[in-house]
Amino acid sequence: MRQKTLPASSADNFLEQSPIYEAVDLCDSQMTQSAISRSPHGRTMLVSLSILPLTRVIVNSLIIFLQHKESISTNYRYNESKQGETMKIAVLGTGMVGQAHAGKLASLGHQVFMGTNDPAKTRARTKIDQMSRPGIGLWLDANPEVKLTKFATAAQQGDLIINATSGQVSLEILSGLKKHLAGKTLIDISNPLDFSKGFPPFLSVSNTNSLGEQIQKALPELKVIKAFNTMNAVVQTNPLRTAEGDHHLFVAGDDKPAKDTVISFAKQQYGWKNIIDLGDIKSARGMEMILPIWLEIRNSLNSPDFNFKIAR
């Protein structure tokens, strides 16, 4: 039942530990139990054993047919309810962050549109990079359920938008999508990292302003919620793999209902347990200014696989 209802993907390990997965499992076993208790098959089976062989063949065939029919209708009901929860999500960006979110969300059954500048050029990138990561073209081959489109098509199609574009171009890209984004919620993961002077990068906006605020100001009808930018891409979508989820996700944004939607999304889709609402979009300043210390910690630990935990 597990393998039938959940698509195989790199997210499988996470799903096996996830409350969502347990809920699905529980849901399936409850449906099976209620199907059995509603069904007269158990009693019919006992009766069929005590009658003539030919009649027994006919009755048993009928039982198999009814059981099959019951199982089809049970699966249908399950798929129907899963469909009801499916979202159309635009993931703008094809880097590590875009891949982490698009892959996970598609594996959970959502309709995912991954935005890029030039889909044909992006798809043609098939070389393994210096970090031994497959080119996005190879990743797309392995994740055929993710639809690669231009940024504008993705923004138009998505009901929920995830900004995973380079912080140096986020404002420009999103400003060009204004008409498609009005009224929608955008999860802003971008960081204003400027690598023009080499490594470590510096923040191109900080202290008295932030990229999150700049995006919100440029697109006032968009509901910008800063989130996930304070940790590595893999941790963002797999919080349970680090310290069993005992660490924190920060969120900030002006629109309270949109922020609540993002908080529920993080819990339900990725399994986040600890989320701190830092207030309005001004708090994006602090969230983005975490990056310099994040980079220092990453270098000291020689690994990006960690996150911040707020103890009190």
Ligand X SMILES: NC(=O)c1ccc[n+]([C@@H]2O[C@H](COP(=O)([O-])OP(=O)(O)OC[C@H]3O[C@@H](n4cnc5c(N)ncnc54)[C@H](OP(=O)(O)O)[C@@H]3O)[C@@H](O)[C@H]2O)c1
| Minimum CB distance to ligand X, residue 191 (Å) | 3
Out of 6, 24, 97, 181, the residue judged to bind ligand X by CB under 6 A: 97
Rg (CA), the chain: 24
Out of 18, 157, 165, 210, the residue judged to bind ligand X by CB under 6 A: 165
| Minimum CB distance to ligand X, residue 204 (Å) | 11
Based on CB atoms, which residue is closest to ligand X, 15 or 233?
233
Out of 229, 238, 269, 283, the residue judged to bind ligand X by CB under 6 A: 229
Based on CB atoms, which residue is closest to ligand X, 108 or 231?
231
User: For tokens 């990068």, what's the residue?
Assistant: 201
Based on CB atoms, which residue is closest to ligand X, 173 or 240?
173
Residues in Cβ contact with 101 at an 8 Å cutoff, skipping those fewer than 6 apart: 91, 162, 164, 189, 233, 236, 237
Site residues for ligand X, window 108-137 (CB under 6 A)?
A: 116-117, 122
At 253, give phi and psi (nearest 5°). Answer: 175, 155
Contacts for 265-270: CB closer than 8 Å, 24+ residues apart: 265/160, 265/187, 266/227, 266/228, 268/20, 269/20, 269/104, 269/105, 269/108, 270/104, 270/236, 270/237, 270/238, 270/239
164 is a site residue for ligand X (CB under 6 A): yes
Based on CB atoms, which residue is closest to ligand X, 1 or 96?
96
Give bridge partners of residue 226 from the DSSP assignment.
188, 252
Give the strand pairing for 88-92 and 202-203.
unpaired
Residues in Cβ contact with 120 at an 8 Å cutoff, skipping those fewer than 6 apart: none
154 is a site residue for ligand X (CB under 6 A): no
Based on CB atoms, which residue is closest to ligand X, 69 or 121?
121
Out of 93, 103, 212, 245, the residue judged to bind ligand X by CB under 6 A: 93
CA 312 vs. chain centroid, Å, equals 29
98 is a site residue for ligand X (CB under 6 A): yes
Binding site for ligand X (CB under 6 A): 93-98, 116-117, 122, 164-167, 169, 189-191, 193, 229, 232-233
